[in-house]
């Protein structure tokens, strides 16, 4: 099945409206992406908590519509 990059980005931005989100389709199959998310909301959170927050924003689509997500998160410098 797969998910469009625009849809993936929209889901993350909905959860983190101020975030800068970069999405890269790694395999050209709408199923394997890299996401780089920079959000002030992550300040004070561990890296694991940041990643969990992004995965929560995807509403359970990991493992279904979205097979793989190489995720990096950061706070603005």
Structure tokens at 7: 């849809």
- pLDDT single digits (tens) 2-53: 899 999 999 999 999 999 999 999 988 888 999 999 999 999 999 999 999 9
Percent of the chain with pLDDT over 70: 99
Report the C-alpha gap between 70 and 59 in whole angstroms. 17
Write down the architecture of domain 5-74 according to CATH.
2-Layer Sandwich (3.30)
- Bridge partners of 23, per DSSP, are 35
Structure tokens at 26: 């790694």
Can you give the pTM of this predicted structure?
0.91
**What does the pLDDT read at residue 71?**
97
The answer, yes or no, to whether residue 62 has pLDDT greater than 90, is: no
**Taking the domains of the chain in order of start, what are their residue ranges?**
5-74
Report the C-alpha gap between 57 and 11 in whole angstroms. 6
Is the Cβ–Cβ distance between 24 and 46 less than 8 Å? no
**What does the pLDDT read at residue 49?**
98
Report the C-alpha gap between 13 and 16 in whole angstroms. 5
Structure tokens at 15: 């959860």
**What does the pLDDT read at residue 1?**
66
The answer, yes or no, to whether residue 70 has pLDDT greater than 70, is: yes
């Amino acid at each position: 099945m797969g998910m469009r990059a625009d849809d993936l980005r929209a889901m993350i931005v909905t959860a983190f409206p101020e975030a800068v989100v970069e999405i890269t389709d790694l395999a050209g199959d709408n199923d394997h992406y890299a996401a780089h998310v920079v959000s002030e909301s992550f300040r004070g959170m561990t890296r694991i908590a940041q990643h969990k927050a992004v995965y929560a924003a995807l509403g359970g689509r990991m493992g279904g519509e979205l097979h793989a997500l190489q995720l990096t998160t950061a706070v603005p410098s």
